[in-house]
Amino acid sequence: MNKKIGWALIVALMVTGVALEPAWGVEKGFGLYGGMASHSSKGTINPGYLGAGLSFSYSSSGTSIGFDYQFPIGDSFSINPFLMSSSETGSGDLNPGTSVGHGIFGVEIRYWMSTVFLGFHVGNYSEVLINSQSSTSVGGAGTGFGATIGWDNGGGWFVSAQTDSASLIYADANVEMSGIRLQVGYHWY
């Protein structure tokens, strides 16, 4: 995952957003969406555990689903509590047969420029590593943040790109995770 690409998209949208018309009027409603997710993680094994100080890295990609509820704040802003989950196939310094699950419970503030929006979110992030060969799993959690750019057709359908960054704490390691999600969905207004 290349963070520079995600941030370049956000800056480009902000620059072009200056020429857009005023917001069409943010409406409240439940949203459901799905798409793809890709994450990369780097970590170090904590002192007191076998392999203390060793570094590792892995990546994963797969499908993502989520839902939110949009509350308007005037004509140009909304607040969107959300819950997302993804199921991904892992690679890198993971045992063969390991799948990765990611979850986010967070809240996003969106600024609307016509039918285009920019969002910033904070949340509780979780990650679970599941090895199908040994039937074992291990998980970590922590806080994180991210940004979203998107377009809503004014009739409910929307597309968005989201970046994420989080610090996850496992029992035996600390992990820095970054990710990107590309989504399509529908809001019932």
Q: What pLDDT, on the 0 to 100 scale, is given for residue 6?
A: 55
User: What are the tens digits of pLDDT across the range 22-80?
Assistant: 445 688 999 999 999 999 999 999 999 999 999 999 999 999 999 999 999 988 999 99
Look up the pTM and report it. Answer: 0.85
User: What are the tens digits of pLDDT across the range 70-116?
Assistant: 999 988 999 999 999 999 999 999 999 999 999 999 999 999 998 99
Q: What pLDDT, on the 0 to 100 scale, is given for residue 18?
A: 41
**What domains can be seen in the chain, in order of their start residue?**
3-188 (2.40.160.20)
Q: How far apart are CA 67 and CA 48, in angstroms?
A: 40
- Token code pair at residue 78: 């909304």
Q: What pLDDT, on the 0 to 100 scale, is given for residue 135?
A: 86
pLDDT > 70 in the chain, percent: 87
Q: What pLDDT, on the 0 to 100 scale, is given for residue 108?
A: 98
- 155 Cβ partners below 8 Å, 6+ apart? none
Q: How far apart are CA 142 and CA 42, in angstroms?
A: 14
